[in-house]
Amino acid sequence: MFDRFHRLLFLITRAVAWIGMLFLLGAMFVTTADIILRKINTEGIFGTIDLVQLMIVAAAYLSIPHAFMTKSHVAVTILSDRMPARLAALTGLVGMGLSCAFMFSIAWFGYDQAAMQHEYGDISQTLGVPLIYYWIPLLFGAGLAAFVTLVLSLEFVVGLLTGGDESAAGRD
């Protein structure tokens, strides 16, 4: 029932995670170049901290939705693996529901903070990068993660109703 939509969502989250990985690679290159330049001429790259902070925030939040999609978060399944399918679907639903509420809260309250900082024209300390650029990947990643966890929650509901046959609990 959800297979086609699930596959599309998987591809979207994977593409977004790859973008996050590119940001992580960028942070690594900027940091490495800064260290090498400091060893060569005692001057590094001006604004390294601003750039690396922006790239790390982007890398983290753009990767979170795919981690939910692939169930890559740390989980203790010693009990849920031995539960009947419906009970496992129920525990999965509770977990995904809480995850959805948490990611939605980050997006909701983050949007308020981002709007306020954008309105005030807040900028980073060294380079003067508008802080809204820090918020864009955070809000996008948290919003996409909230949507992904909502979809997975619905799949767990289907698993509860069908006895676990078509739930996200059965996917690996």
Q: What is the DSSP letter of 130?
A: B
In the structure, what pLDDT confidence band is assigned to residue 3 with cuts at 50, 70 and 90? confident
Helix (H) or strand (E) holding 26: helix 3-41
**65-99 pLDDT per residue, tens:** 999 999 887 776 777 778 888 888 888 899 999 99
What average pLDDT score do residues 26-43 get? Answer: 94
Contact by Cβ (8 Å): 163, 157:
no
Owner of token pair 């698993």: 159
Q: What is the pLDDT of residue 165?
A: 54
Q: Which residue type sits at 108? A: W
pTM: 0.87
